[in-house]
A and B are shown apart, each in its own frame.
Chain A
Amino acid sequence: MKDLIALIVFGIVVAALPLFVSSGFALNIVIMTLYAALLGQAWNILGGFGGQFSFGHAVFFGTGAYAAAVLQVKFGWNAWAALPAAVALGAAVGAFVGALSFRYGLRGSYFALVTLAFAEVFRILSNTFEFTGAGVGLMIPLTESAANFQFTSRTGFLYVILGFTLAACAVTWWLKHSRYGAWLQAVRDNEESAAALGVNVFRVKLGAIMISGALMSAGGVFYVQYFHYIDPHIAYGPGISIEALLAPIVGGMGTLFGPLLGAAALHLFGELTRNFMGDEPGISLIVYGLLLVIMVTFLPRGIMGLASGPSGAARQAGRPRA
């Protein structure tokens, strides 16, 4: 229960921020950190709790982003109405990718490769067809009002992304404390043993990728509403996939607060490097890549691993009961 209380306190603190902070720059950093935490939490559900490392999570992000953009631009939908449709589509793409790859028992490197390839196929398709604006991308017309999911101030966006991120955390909390979550972690730790104990491995993994895909595409919808623009490279390029996996790896995979911590640490670090080394092309990604190598080498359990002691057994023993 302690972690749920911590989550609620976190939500209240962030929600109260606009009362004290009025600088758009600072609020933007908070928004982008929460957004990174949302993507990270989505990846964490499949990668951290399910043990299935995806290198192509952009496939879900891009689907959400394009669904929102296409429904608004080509079909005249309201953005709020497009949101559930985009999330459902993200889950559907998750089901599609998951059904294909898990049915044939792809895991480890193979799963990472197949997700990478799916993201690439989607990138080429969206780059080709006029329906998605081809290489030019899609621009959302500017009609600033809360009814259109385009807020006049950053505060509105802050509350929306806070809601999304808290929802993702709530799902993760549920995974930690539910029977389904226990199945998922059993599959991660040893698929054969889990199957022998009667866990339906295929369905458990399929559920995880659908949840993950749905949350990821919510992130895509937010991106489109916040920046009013999407193109194939942003939507399905490798950048988003890397951003999604970096936060949980830095913060701690398979933990509730890992992606939040990781996203905050990464943004802090990103701002610092920008201050010290300027905005030269490539610098921020060099730092991210180095961080990835260093974290995996020296802190494979992330920042959370520092807090929870040296052995995994200690973490298990200290697990709060549902």
Chain B
Amino acid sequence: MRALYFEDVYKKFGRTYALQGATFEIPRKVVAGLLGPNGAGKTTSIKIATGLLKCNRGKVEVLGLDPWNNGVEARMKIGVLHEKPAYPPNVRVSKLLLHLAKLRGRNLREVKRVATITGLEKYLEAKIRALSRGYLQRLGLAQALLGDPEMLLLDEPTANLDPLARMEILNLIKNLRKELDVTIIISSHILLELQKVCDYAVFIGVGRILDYGSMRDLAGRYGVEAILKIYSVKPRRLASILVREEYVEAIEIHDSYLIVRTQSGYWKNIEDKAFELGAENVELTTANLEDMYKAVVSRYAF
């Protein structure tokens, strides 16, 4: 079942189209990246999916619901972190979170739970204006996690953060996926960051959807370098054999697994070979997003 579905969606601001016939879908239980340059329509897509904006034309479904007409039901199932969110500055963190929790039928226990997950426990009694950018972003994540949503929409979650805070937020997102098993949709123009967390991508360029699919499919479609994680009890022996294959570009050896970089067209060969040599499991962790993005943009250049 689809987590998010856009069909021929148009959104106009004044005379400018933010989205022009956007069509894509994102399945459940993936970490999907909405990728595109600034002004491509990522934020507009997220706001339409949240029911904050109404599309001029087209069909939108969020977990099977129309977010504009069934907004309350849809928003009960999703959590949203907005790009540059504005919070009431003079309110205490706990008061805002408690109020938002109550809107979801939850109580103070829920506030404490999300504060623990996001590392905000010590700042619950602080006024929002006293929080640093990094902690404001944690507050954004905390309010998005209230009520155990089935899907998280994160709009530029690392924007305007220093490198350390960026790393912290990205690790937090990674952990969320592991611990909460939710669908996560992240909008960003920083490809390197998304590379670390995404297994599905939607490429947007100036209001149009260029392509979308799992990283595995996209890597194959655009012939970009793929990265495989191969689990084995004898990683060194496996590496010594795989390194002889001409399409293997690089291998990193770890205690219980290998990281193998290969041209995308050959990742299936590597997988077969690895299993042949006794590998326990093979995961296509990611393809090189930057190369993929370049390939997508050059194919669909306007």
Q: Do A and B come from one complex?
A: no
